[in-house]
Chains A and B, each alone.
Chain A
Amino acid sequence: MYSQGLIGADGRTEEDAAFLAAFQARIDAEEKIEPKDAMPEGYRRTLVRQIGQHAHSEIVGMLPEGNWITRAPSLRRKAALLAKVQDEGGHGLYLYSAAETLGVSREQMTEELLSGKAKYSSIFNYPTLSWADIGIIGWLVDGAAIMNQIPLCRCSFGPYARAMIRVCKEESFHQRQGYEIVMTLMRGTEAQKAMAQDALDRWWWPALMMFGPHDSESAHSEQSMAWKIKRFSNDALRQKFIDATVPQAEFLGLKVPDPDMVWDAGLNDGQGGYRHGPIDWDEFWRVVKGGGVMNRDRIRARRKAWEDGAWVREAARAHALKRAARKVAAE
């Protein structure tokens, strides 16, 4: 989802050539950049945007699945789903912390999410209509996220790379639990199989869109690749995801909803791969810009959580002040 993190990123930078060359030399030598190091303003701004939007994606990502916690079909599934949603919350927090090392405040990032100024992954603007959606999300959405995040573990910015290592370690269970849910449905009744196929039909294309626009349309990719914020192009990661996922669908007895999909022996430098049909980029941009089914709902839910929590934050601060004063008085 995180190639979408670059949407709206502004890599322009105005430092002199000698400074930029020295910085690029550090990057080319695979040195990690740490928060207090000198860095081009464009590098800093791009990372603030990308890490912030990645964090927002994790936080908003709790909503579609949270919708099913109380309706999970067994205690085993409920415990797993609760743990997964809690992980997403944790991942959002690791990422906010990483962005804050660049001088942006948590409050500012929260405001930008709530005002709609900052984006989050388009995938979370689709509704979760059936239990099968929870399985498909774990399998495809977390699968695509992992595909995107593994190269981010080698990102040139130290705090982002370190957060990604933790996230990737924790996320492999997410994908496996999803696949297991779908597998269980596919071993069930005809109605359960149909429910799984219906969920795949609805999530397949949005999952492919998680990798972001085609390389030719991806305005900020080149600079991000040079700065090693990004290691692979959107299309390369998308292809990798398709090639990994199609056989997994076949194993389950599910059909990927792409009538144009064919095996092409010439793809991937002659190793072969699945060539996909055209992606509906109009839909992608419509959803990114706020026109998805759930955009308004998601922001409304985040805003409510923020507003309803205001008295808790206030009380905690007041309590902390009182305790601190009492401690001083006792000394």
Chain B
Amino acid sequence: MVEATPLWEVFIRPRNGLSHRHVGSLHAADEVMALQAARDVYTRRGEGTSIWVVPSLAITASDPDHADEMFEPTADKIYRHPTFYEIPEEVGHM
């Protein structure tokens, strides 16, 4: 088996004013080569003005098997949403 080259996650900011967004991943020996490869692989048509590369190993992810417990509490707290509160028509937009 050949030694594996590290995996990187690539994030691109399409233009100023927008946040960096995950676009995919790639293999590279170090961060310098990862950035160069990210430019070649993910920005051939002006997709971005800024690139982040992050070692995939550095990402801690939530477990999809525990998604129910993890995200369930948000669904029953409808009082967090503006439409939960009744404001008379006459008051106008609020």
Assess the A37–B5 pair: CB atoms within 8 A: no
Q: A93 contacts which of B41, B61, B64 (Cβ < 8 Å)? A: B41
Q: Is the CB of B63 within 8 A of A94?
A: no
Question: Complex Cα distance A316/B32, Å?
Answer: 10
Q: Give the shortest distance, in Å, between A110 (CB) and chain B (any CB).
A: 8
A110–B65 Cα distance when bound, in Å, is: 31
Taking CB atoms, residues of chain A closer than 8 Å to B29 are 313, 316-317, 319-320
Give, as a whole number of angstroms, the nearest-CB distance from B54 to chain A: 14
The chain B residue sitting closest to A163, CB to CB, is B24
When C-beta atoms are compared, the residue in chain B nearest to A322 turns out to be: B30
Tell me, in angstroms, the Cα distance from A111 to B1 when the chains sit together.
Answer: 9
- A-B pair count, CB < 8 Å, reads 53
Is B7 part of the binding interface, using a Cβ–Cβ cutoff of 8 Å?
yes
Which one, A94, A106, A316, contacts B33 given CB within 8 A?
A316
Q: Which residue of A lies closest to B47 (CB)?
A: A166
- The yes or no answer to A260 lying at the interface (CB within 8 A) is no
Bound: A97/B27 CA distance, A: 9
Instruction: Tell me the chain A residues, 60-110 only, with Cβ under 8 Å from chain B.
Output: 83, 86-87, 90, 93-94, 97, 100, 105-107, 110
Contacting residue for B64 out of A37, A313, A323, CB 8 A: A37
Expressed in whole angstroms, the Cα–Cα distance for A316 and B5 within the complex equals 9
Across the interface, do B44 and A90 meet the contact criterion of CB distance under 8 Å? yes
Residues of chain B at interface, number, CB under 8 A:
22
- Cross-chain contact B30 with A97 (CB below 8 angstroms): no
Is A215's CB within 8 Å of the partner chain B? no
Cβ distance B58 to chain A, nearest Cβ, rounded Å: 14
Contact with B along A170-194 (1 / 0, CB 8 A): 1000000000000000000000000
CB-based contact B4/A107 at 8 Å: yes
Min C-beta distance of A183 to chain B, whole Å: 24
A317 in contact with B26 (CB, 8 Å): no
Contact check, A94 vs B30: say whether CB atoms are below 8 A apart: no
Query: Which of these, B3, B27, B30, contacts A319 with CB under 8 Å?
Result: B30
**Pairwise interchain contact A317-B3, C-beta atoms closer than 8 A:** yes
| A86:B25 contact, CB within 8 angstroms | no
Give A107 to B3 CA distance when docked, in angstroms: 8
A126-164 CB contact bits vs B (8 Å, 1 = yes)? 000000000000000000000000000000000000110
CB pair B64 A36 closer than 8 Å? yes
**B87 in the interface (beta carbon within 8 A):** no
- Does B45 interact with chain A (Cβ within 8 Å)? yes
User: Within A233-287, which residues are at the interface with B (CB < 8 Å)?
Assistant: none
Q: A86 and B44: CB pair below 8 A?
A: yes
Once the chains are docked, how many angstroms separate the CA of A86 from the CA of B63?
37
Does B40 count as interface, using CB distance less than 8 angstroms?
yes
The CA-CA distance from A107 to B30 in the complex, in Å, is: 18
Which residues from chain A contact B57 at a C-beta distance below 8 Å? none
Question: A170 CA to B41 CA in the complex, in Å?
Answer: 12
Smallest beta-carbon distance A327→chain B, Å: 10
Partner among B1, B24, B40, B45 whose Cβ is within 8 Å of the Cβ of A107: B1
Residue contact B25 to A87, C-beta cutoff 8 Å: no
| Contact of A320 (CB < 8 Å), options: B30, B61, B65 | B30
B window 1-19: CB within 8 A of A: 1-5, 7
Contact call B65/A317, Cβ cutoff below 8 A: no
Q: How far is A94 from B44 in the complex, measured between Cα atoms in Å? A: 13
Bound together, the chains give a CA A106 to CA B28 distance in angstroms of 12
If A83-B44, A107-B1 are given as contacts, then 4 extra A-B residue pairs at C-beta distance below 8 Å, sorted by A number, are: A36-B63, A90-B40, A94-B41, A100-B25
20 A-B residue pairings within 8 Å (CB atoms): A34-B64, A38-B64, A86-B40, A90-B44, A93-B26, A97-B24, A100-B25, A105-B4, A106-B4, A107-B2, A107-B4, A111-B2, A170-B44, A316-B28, A316-B29, A317-B3, A317-B5, A317-B29, A320-B29, A320-B33
